[in-house]
Amino acid sequence: MNASPDHGAPLRLASASLPDRVRMTLERALALLSGELDHGLGRTVLEFERELFRLADGARNPGLESGYMQALRSFHLHRADLAPRFMAGLESALAGLRHPPAAHAFRPETDQVSFRHLSLVEEAVMDEDTVLRGIASRQENRAPLALHLLGQRFGVLAAAPAFDAERLPLGPYSLCRAMRDVAIGLEIHYDARLLLYRTFDRQVLSGYPQMLDRLNASMAGLGILPALTFVPVRARPSTAATNEPGPAGITAAGVASAAAPTAAAVPPVAQRPHTAWMGEARQVAGGENDEVAFALLRQLLSRRRELIGKLRSETPPPRRQQMSTPDLLGALKDLQRQPPAPAATRTGVHEIKQAVLAQTRQLRGRGVGLSPEDNDTFELLGMLYGQIESEIRDDAPTSPLVHALQLPLLRAALLDRGFFLHGHHPARQLLDTVAESAASWLDRNELDPQLVPLMRQAVAEVAEKFEDDPTVFADANARLQERLQLHARKAEMLERRHVEAARGKEKLEIAKLRAAEALENAIGEQRLPRFVRALLNQAWVDVLTLTLLRQGGDSDDWQRQLDATRGIVAACGSGGVPEDPELIAHVEASLGLVGYHGEEAAVIAQRLAGGRSDSGDDPASRTELALKLKARAHLGEDKAKAAAPRLPPRTPTEQAHYEQLRVMPFGAWIEFVTNQQGDVVRRRLSWYSTVTDHALFVNQRGQRVDERSLDSLSRMFAGRQARLVTAQRAHLVDRAWQAAVGALRKFAGHGDDAVAGEAPA
């Protein structure tokens, strides 16, 4: 790899030899950028871990799976260093602003080749530089004007000519160099570093042009070339040419070649585990995938019409006058003003279409038809609702509201076909919010009862006010989202309390394990009577455990208990030692701290610290004492777990699921099959311990609903009784749309190929 940025440059702005005003400007720019990058770097860490998990899950051989799992473990150890190291690299670049330019890592391919100094370079290093240079070059092409203006301003700060994109300390090449240096320090292998770079590109650099605009505005506000502007003259695109590339580079000729995109077109982010609460903001796919999906959808619908025409043996019906889209919208609006139908006679999209045609025939005195585009809209919404109805409960309080949205959604889809393609379309977001409140995997007590009246109000408002402005949907949904986000925050707080309690149990289990280990080390090769061993393992180990929990392993109290343990072993061992009254008193007092009182503590202390003698004046016999100890509850004891039957060893498939669960991100949602009909309930994996094998599950309201071991969970995954909820299939309307498009593809003869932007079911 080529040289890194100038190693002689100061590492901190505070120690750089820069004028005060320049230093202040750079510090403000760094603080602004740090605030912009903080959330993006956090998302990068989370998505990178999820991507490694997904790749390990889909690995075709154990070697690849092992490599990705090892990369995930290594990254876990250093993940906290990613953001600080990245920002330190940018600060170093800023601090070296007035230093001579260093040899940069990503030189243009057109650079003149020099044969004076030759060396062997690994292909992986060359490919790594190529990937990073490609990312930086793409970001440079996205914001050339903002980079040009920022380069001029940095030239003023450096008292030098304007900086180009490669030398700009906060330019795309500098950001990529900083990420490369961080990745090398994370001790992950080459393929994992490439994955990290692509994740960084998606999560951080997706908003890079906006960051540059804010940096320019900040510097202008500080008086650094405040009047600097440059507005290029843009030629208007011609709408006459039918083969001109569109917003995503799609041409009329390119639509024909988009017939069967493969699953490789699915963005990797779609396969990450879903961790958000209901109502929390979610990421949506970019415009390019939407454009590809739109071109594909048009072709599928066209082929569908052609196929239906070929399959019809009877004489096609006479062509009728087509009803214009404005007339259709007016008819739907009139239909919406009519009183709603009773729930028992609930109508669907097809019935709405027939009612509109019948109403128009009565008004005009002759039959009419719909245009192919409008007819397709009815067909697509009908397919979408058919899939939605299969995933909601009819007895849910918000189920009627899903059907009440059909008419407003028909009008919205007729006005904007992007309703079917854009997950962030306001009408689709409102449908998703209402439909998810009636989802079949949501228990009745998991829906906030205060949310139902707000949903009724939102649906009624849309039905009354919607004309042609989708902001009506957005406003109605925004109010619902406020309540849902409050619901999510409450659930998160409640979940946090359950997690803290579970972590307390884990600390207790760890303390028990360490106490048992310390006891075994103290006993060593000594041969103790069986009853004394039982007393040590049942009573004295509780004393050691409690001391570790309260005082810690570095405390003087812990050392005194270790000394007492060695004294007990010496007193009860084969060699024997004289009776030590102080040791007996210490043991009796220590037993009192864990619930042993009076004569019981005195008897145990005498037997442990008083040697092997069985004096006749003991208040309880050995048998009675053993029964009392057996009936007594001990620290951290789980009698149900102890009584559970031992399961057979895990199969290779179960072991693979077990290893994946041990690196699953906290907060992942898992669907559990509840009966033979395939009904599922969705639970959130809030926390798990790799020490105790214990996993905690909560519901949508953050209430603890289940606890099970990772071992049992891995067996459920292998038996298809549990499955991970991925981000692509987390939302009900998205899942319904994917299923509808999948059915459309099969009908058109495209099999099960995935649509762009759609994950396989």
The full set of domain ranges for the chain reads: 13-109+118-221, 278-311+321-469, 502-641, 651-725
Let me know if 366 is exposed, middle or buried by CB neighbors in 10 A (0-12, 13-18, 19+): exposed
206-251 pLDDT, tens digit each: 888 888 988 988 898 888 888 776 544 333 333 333 333 333 333 3
- Residue 237, classed as helix, strand or coil, is coil
> Could you tell me the pLDDT band of residue 635, with boundaries at 50, 70 and 90?
low
Using alpha carbons, select from 356, 347, 474 the residue that is nearest to residue 414: 356
- In this structure, of 46-50, 336-340, 402-406, 515-519, the range with the lowest mean pLDDT score is 336-340
408-423 pLDDT, tens digit each: 999 998 888 788 888 7
CB 615 within 8 A of CB 547: no
CA of 606: how far to CAs of 515, 523, 580, 612, 615, in Å? 22, 18, 10, 9, 10
What letter would DSSP give residue 111? S
CB 409 within 8 A of CB 419: yes
Using alpha carbons, select from 509, 508, 541, 511 the residue that is nearest to residue 523: 541
Let me know if 696 is exposed, middle or buried by CB neighbors in 10 A (0-12, 13-18, 19+): buried
As a whole number, mean pLDDT of residues 520-535 equals: 84
The single-letter code of the amino acid at 199 is T
734-750 pLDDT, tens digit each: 888 888 888 777 766 65
699-726 pLDDT, tens digit each: 988 899 999 999 999 999 999 999 998 8
562-621 pLDDT, tens digit each: 998 888 888 887 666 677 788 888 888 888 888 887 788 888 888 787 664 444 445 446
**Residues contacting 221, CB < 8 A, separation 6+:** none
pLDDT at 370 over 60: yes
**Residues contacting 5, CB < 8 A, separation 6+:** 89, 92, 93, 96, 102, 104, 174, 177
**Architecture category of domain 651-725 in CATH:** Roll (2.30)
Please report the sign of the dihedral spanned by the C-alpha atoms of residue 294, residue 295, residue 299, residue 300.
negative
pLDDT value at residue 14:
84
Mean predicted lDDT score pLDDT of the chain: 78
pLDDT value at residue 222:
86
Residue with more model confidence, 641 or 227: 227
pTM more than 0.75: no
- In this structure, of 130-144, 288-302, 446-460, 525-539, the range with the lowest mean pLDDT score is 288-302
pLDDT at 391 over 90: no
What letter would DSSP give residue 723? E
CB 91 within 8 A of CB 13: yes
d(CA 156, CA 228): 12
CB 430 within 8 A of CB 471: no
- Dihedral of CA atoms 698, 701, 702, 703 in degrees, nearest 10, equals -70
CA of 220: how far to CAs of 68, 149, 227, 694, in Å? 46, 10, 8, 55
